[in-house]
Amino acid sequence: MTKPVDWMQEARNIHWFEAPTRLLDDSNPPFYRWYPDGLTNACYNALDLHVAKGRGDQAALIVDSPVTGRGRSYSYAELLESVARCAGALAAQGVGLGDRVLIYMPMVAEAVIGMLACARLGAVHSVVFGGFASNELAVRINDATPRVILSASCGIEPTRTVAYKPLLDAAIDLAVHKPSTCIVLQRPELHADLLKGRDISWSDAMADAQMHACVPVPSNHPLYILYTSGTTGEPKGVVRDTAGSIVALKWSMKSIYNVEPGEVFWAASDVGWVVGHSYIVYGPLFSGNTTLLYEGKPVGTPDAGAFWRVIEQYQVSVLFTAPTAFRAIRKEDPQAGLMKNYDLGSLKSLFLAGERCDPDTLNWAQEQLSIPVIDHWWQTETGWPICANCLGIEPLPVVPGSPARAVPGYDVVVLDEQGEVVTDDSIGALTIRLPLPPGTFTTLWNADERYQKAYFSRFPGYYETGDAGYIDEQGYVFVMARTDDVINVAGHRLSTGAMEEVLAAHPDVAECAVIGVADALKGQLPLGLIVLSDGVERDYSDIVTEIIASVRENIGPVAVFKQCYVVKRLPKTRSGKILRATMRSIADKQPYRVPATIDDPAILEEISALITPRD
């Protein structure tokens, strides 16, 4: 058994303006509050502390952008100066304690600078992933009601330049809430038109700005809101607090990832996802590492050797990415021939998360790299790993298919339908006995009731992860599937419910269902089934084309919604429940049982012929 963490002791490793005297306020479950009476600041812990302790000249942030051919490095002192100036620019726009700032930016240093500047002021950032379209952005603007939005003229995808500004303008037009200011980074690849009176260019805003000091905030002050997909189309605004995040993330850098201050840590993800928040920005900086911001892909920028080039060039110690990235590399370079062109001697371990890691991919990575390859499991809600092979505490044997054991701080329990603890290795709901450790979510933005209902009502006393799985005799956890309508496309968490809302809004559609089906590269892909309204006589292919375009336009390209079929009816039980799980099994070529309560077995056969993949 691994020793429990002494969270009060760990709290002594961070900087406090006023140290807490109490560890946990558990008087109002499930609203637990860690370190309730402390005063701290996340930006101080990420930057000022290190400069004060003599780390000012060390690289804090390295930007590597194969898609633009540019890059640069910021020392801790330089990053501190840029962040303090950005905080001053935000303050000049009226941003203060508790105000929200929405960040809709590509993988540029300014995105990190903006996040840290918010933390410096005690303002609450909400980063929206660049692959989301205007409608999704508008929903988040309405919910977070930001005073200021930070954005850029464009993002660069390998095949195209994505003009962010028109997407932002459209989102603001759609939204009921209007920000008072947008600060827009003009990138050389594309110039954005600025709206007089509302928009300011990043360079103008920074040029006039005063450096701003850190504002001490109470421990439980929100550090950020990060929207994530749930069962319905309405995203959930996960709220993380300040002190818990600092303590837990700092602890995880050494205990889980086994990196020391000064080492280079690279999370090849995007700042718009939780991995980006925790392990591109906050975790590595809290612990005095050098973090890498990579604007590129594992393949195609320029080839499947891109990761190896970056590892050699910056002497990366630990790499963290999603299994899909390794599947993409393997597909293009099955023998890892390109790896031989680089010296990967600095790399100590590879961590994979974001989706289930198939043993085949894990074994391939391990064979090619000859280092520990660690699958670990966590979620936007938890903010840091629930299960992992904690290399900094006690490395365990790697069991492909399992993210190893519960990390200290998490008491993972499998429950059956009745809420009874499952003691053998049968599959049930993966839950965590309360309280959750520091650094996990404290509520959903403006939605305390939804927080309680969505996560804590089915199994009182436990947090419901939404994943199903089992625990073996050695305590290894196996995460097998989601229990809701969330799917994982290339490590990106998406809601089939949100896609169904878009399909249902098409004037010719009477009924629809979207399911996630297995894909060899991206893990899962969405597949839509639509039933047309009576009397619709248009060409089916036109309707399908419109629907595919509409998902791209409303949710974004990241949904990769490209498969859609017109069917006569949807298969349902007699009580009207759509048999999504059965259809998913058919599409995945998995064994399935036709429920006795099916209302029309023939329709399932028809659909099966459509969606079963051909060999």
Decide if residue 80 touches ligand COA (CB under 6 A): no
Tell the smallest beta-carbon distance from residue 10 to ligand AMP (Å): 23
State which of residues 117, 299, 525, 587 lies at the interface with ligand COA (CB under 6 A): 299
d(CA 406, CA 375): 12
* Nearer to ligand AMP (CB atom), residue 106 or residue 403: 403
Listed ranges 297-305, 397-405, 444-452, 504-512: which one lies at the site for ligand COA (CB under 6 A): 297-305
- Angle ∠(37,41,43) on CA atoms, nearest 5: 165
**Among ligand AMP, ligand COA, none, residue 131 binds (CB under 5-8 Å by kind):** ligand COA
Decide if residue 488 touches ligand AMP (CB under 6 A): yes
Decide if residue 130 touches ligand COA (CB under 6 A): yes
Tell the smallest beta-carbon distance from residue 44 to ligand COA (Å): 27
Q: How far is CA 14 from CA 112, 200, 219, 386, 533, in A?
A: 21, 36, 12, 22, 60
Listed ranges 80-88, 292-300, 448-456, 565-573: which one lies at the site for ligand COA (CB under 6 A): 292-300
Decide if residue 65 touches ligand AMP (CB under 6 A): no
Q: Could you tell me where the beta strands, DSSP code E, fall in 207-248? A: 217-218, 222-228, 236-241
Listed ranges 36-44, 189-197, 201-209, 296-304: which one lies at the site for ligand COA (CB under 6 A): 296-304
State which of residues 228, 443, 495, 554 lies at the interface with ligand AMP (CB under 6 A): 228
Decide if residue 127 touches ligand AMP (CB under 6 A): no
**Among ligand AMP, ligand COA, none, residue 299 binds (CB under 5-8 Å by kind):** ligand COA
State which of residues 269, 380, 440, 443 lies at the interface with ligand AMP (CB under 6 A): 380
Is the distance from CB of 414 to CB of 429 less than 8 angstroms?
Answer: yes
d(CA 25, CA 409): 16
d(CA 222, CA 122): 8
SS3 for 335-356 is CCHHHHHCCCCCCCEEEECCCC
* Nearer to ligand COA (CB atom), residue 253 or residue 328: 328
Q: At what angle do helices 601-611 and 580-587 cross, to 10 degrees?
A: 40
d(CA 33, CA 243): 10
β-pairing verdict for 428-433 and 412-415: antiparallel
- Binding residues for ligand COA, how many (CB under 6 A)? 25
**Among ligand AMP, ligand COA, none, residue 528 binds (CB under 5-8 Å by kind):** none
Site for ligand COA in 472-491 (CB under 6 A): 490-491
d(CA 40, CA 20): 10
Decide if residue 524 touches ligand AMP (CB under 6 A): no
**Among ligand COA, ligand AMP, none, residue 444 binds (CB under 5-8 Å by kind):** none
Decide if residue 155 touches ligand COA (CB under 6 A): yes
Helix (H) or strand (E) holding 77: helix 76-92
β-pairing verdict for 349-352 and 373-375: parallel
**Taking CB under 6 A as the rule, which mask of x and - marks residues 546-585 in contact with ligand COA?**
-----------xx-x-------------------------
Tell the smallest beta-carbon distance from residue 355 to ligand COA (Å): 8
**Taking CB under 6 A as the rule, which mask of x and - marks residues 300-339 in contact with ligand AMP?**
----------------------------------------
d(CA 442, CA 32): 7
The DSSP secondary structure of 371-418, one letter per residue, reads: S-EEE-B--TTTSS-SB---TTT------TT---SBPTT--EEEE-TT
Helix (H, G, I), strand (E, B) or coil at 284: helix
Strand partners, 148: 101, 181
The DSSP secondary structure of 142-203, one letter per residue, reads: HHH--SEEEEESEEEETTEEEEHHHHHHHHHHH-SS--SEEEEEPBTTBPPPPPTTTEEEHH
* Residue 150 C-beta-side C-alpha neighbours within 13 Å: 34
Tell the smallest beta-carbon distance from residue 493 to ligand COA (Å): 8
Tell the smallest beta-carbon distance from residue 550 to ligand COA (Å): 14
Decide if residue 324 touches ligand COA (CB under 6 A): yes
Decide if residue 379 touches ligand AMP (CB under 6 A): yes
Decide if residue 467 touches ligand AMP (CB under 6 A): yes
Q: Which residue is nearest to ligand COA (CB)?
A: 491
For residue 302, say if its preceding peptide bond is cis, omega within 30 degrees of 0: yes
**Among ligand AMP, ligand COA, none, residue 293 binds (CB under 5-8 Å by kind):** none
Decide if residue 526 touches ligand COA (CB under 6 A): no
**Among ligand COA, ligand AMP, none, residue 557 binds (CB under 5-8 Å by kind):** ligand COA
Is the distance from CB of 459 to CB of 486 less than 8 angstroms?
Answer: no
Which residues contact ligand COA by CB under 6 A? Answer: 106, 130-131, 155, 157, 162, 269-270, 273, 275, 297-299, 321-322, 324-325, 328, 354, 490-492, 557-558, 560
Which residues contact ligand AMP by CB under 6 A? Answer: 228, 274, 353-357, 375-377, 379-380, 403, 465-467, 479, 482, 488, 493
